[in-house]
Amino acid sequence: LILAIETSCDDTCAAVLDGPHILSNLISSQDQAHAAFGGIVPEVASRHHLELAVPVIDAALSGAGASLDQIDSVAVTAGPGLIGALLVGLSTAKAIAAPRRLPLIPVDHLQGHVAANFLAPEPLEPPFLCLVASGGHTLLAGVRDHSGHEVLGQTLDDAAGEAFDKVARLLGLGFPGGPALQRLAEEGDPAAFDLPVAMARDPGLDFSFSGLKTAMVYLCRDLGEDGVGERRADLAASFQAAAVGQLTAKLKRALKRGDWDAVALGGGVAANGPLREAVSTLCEEQGVRLKLVPLELCTDNAAMIGSAARFTPSLPYPEYLAYDAFPSNRPPVAAP
């Protein structure tokens, strides 16, 4: 059994896995704590993780009907993410593993999103192309085996989810903005405003969302407060169409370049209905299989970390006591 812990951002998550089978997968969202600030405050997130980590792990163990004595290894997100938040998870994992001399498995958060696809039932076997779009990251991952991925393209500035959240805030929606923006967009016309589909002419596979965000800022400024109030749904729908358009255009380009016969989606933005529909249509057109994991496995969760851990080398006691979290994209470095 693997006990997995994920605290890279604002959700405190713990899961117990038996191979690819999820025995429990608990998420304690801190949305309320951050809503007043209109975004995630790193220090607030760390403090909440400190309070929530042990109760959430306890709940995951009892949900799995397991005790700590039955756990064979402890997996934890080591990065990338908010450094304070990561350190709470990593220290908790060390504190659970060390007295029992259990091995520790430090997991890359992005590989976690990829590995959500390896979970039962109906795991997706590599090779496949995975679009990961979340609040912190946007990338196209070429997955050729279970143990890692190749970054084929990534955002040069903002993440897709960050753009959803910022535009949602501009339209007076709460935090996190993605789901609220999608709901509002349902009442709007996606063709109402002609927004740039960034990077459309760029031949590469990288993304950019800051131009779209700025275009929205100027559009709202030109419309004025009353104008924005009247056209909120159209603004949301037009923004969503441009963001989804870019994500799908790059996915299409990557499919044409490679020999992929399966596609998967990961990250919080993969919960977006119009994105899921656009990607389904694209995959049908291109004759490739599409794997859509359940929504609760798209957004941050610990089951995906446990899944990645199955294919990640573990560190023995006491080696991992010196292992550090990493805040930005870099491969985990072995402890000295």
**Interaction partner, residue 165 (Zn ion, ligand KG4, none; CB < 5-8 Å by kind):** ligand KG4
CB proximity list for 13: less than 8 A, separation 6 or greater: 4, 5, 6, 7, 25, 26, 27, 28, 56, 300, 301, 302, 305
What does 161 interact with, of Zn ion, ligand KG4, none (CB < 5 to 8 A by kind)? ligand KG4
Cis before 176? omega within 30: yes
Binding site for ligand KG4 (CB under 6 A): 9, 134-136, 161, 164-165, 176-179, 182, 267-269, 271-272, 299-300
Q: What is the DSSP string of 30-69?
A: -HHHHHTTTS--HHHHHHHHHHHHHHHHHHHHHHHT--GG
134 touches Zn ion (CB under 5 A): yes
Round to whole Å and give the CA distance between 233 and 50: 39
- Least Å distance, CB 53 to Zn ion, is 18
Decide whether 103 or 161 has the Cβ nearer to Zn ion: 161
What is the closest distance, in whole angstroms, from the C-beta atom of residue 232 to Zn ion in the complex? Answer: 28
Which CB sits closer to Zn ion, 7 or 238? 7
Q: How far is the CB of 171 from ligand KG4 (least distance, A)?
A: 13
CB-nearer residue toward ligand KG4: 84 or 268: 268
Which of ligand KG4, Zn ion, none binds 176 (CB below 5-8 Å, type-dependent)? ligand KG4
Q: In a 10 Å sphere around its CB, with 0-12 CB exposed, 13-18 middle and 19+ buried, how is residue 33 labelled?
A: middle
Question: Phi and psi of 200, rounded to 5°?
Answer: -65, -35
**Is 300 near Zn ion (CB under 5 A)?**
yes
Nearer to ligand KG4, 206 or 300 (CB): 300
How far is CA 36 from each of CA 32, 40, 50, 207, rounded to the nearest angstrom?
A: 7, 10, 20, 30
Nearer to ligand KG4, 181 or 255 (CB): 181
The residue type at 160:
A
Q: Which is nearer to ligand KG4, 265 or 269 (CB)?
A: 269
* Binding flag, residue 10, Zn ion (CB under 5 A): no
6 binds Zn ion (CB under 5 A): no
